Amino acid sequence: MNSTSVSLQDFLTVSQAAAVLGVATATLRHWDRTGKLSAVRHPINGYRLYRKADLEMLLQQLSRNETHI
């Protein structure tokens, strides 16, 4: 494998991502439907997966917005 390969370890399930962000799983599913946070689908079971890097960027954006309020 090369350094650009994707691993399932780079992703979180809906419940794991919800815990990281401090929101309900239904909120994440809503954000996915409305395009606010994109999920990818597990190649075998079709479940939503969220990239850890995307969640980290979202948390950073939220943190920056809180400092400007």
Provide the whole-model pTM: 0.78
Rg of the chain (C-alpha set) = 13
pLDDT at 12 over 90: yes
CATH number of the structural domain spanning residue 58: 1.10.1660.10
Does 3 map to a domain?
no
Does 52 map to a domain?
yes
pLDDT at 3 over 60: no
Query: Domain limits at 24?
Result: 11-67
What whole-number percentage of the chain has pLDDT above 90?
65
User: Who contacts 36 (Cβ-Cβ below 8 Å, separation ≥6)?
Assistant: none
Q: What is the pLDDT of residue 23?
A: 94
Helix ranges (DSSP H) in the chain: 14-21, 25-34, 52-67
User: Who contacts 38 (Cβ-Cβ below 8 Å, separation ≥6)?
Assistant: 32, 54
User: What burial letters (b/e) apply to 12-24, b meaning 16+ CB within 10 Å?
Assistant: bbbeebbeebeee
Higher pLDDT, 66 or 29: 29
Instruction: Please give the tally of structural domains in the chain.
Output: 1
Does 57 map to a domain?
yes
Does 6 map to a domain?
no
Confidence of residue 2 (pLDDT cuts 50, 70, 90): very low
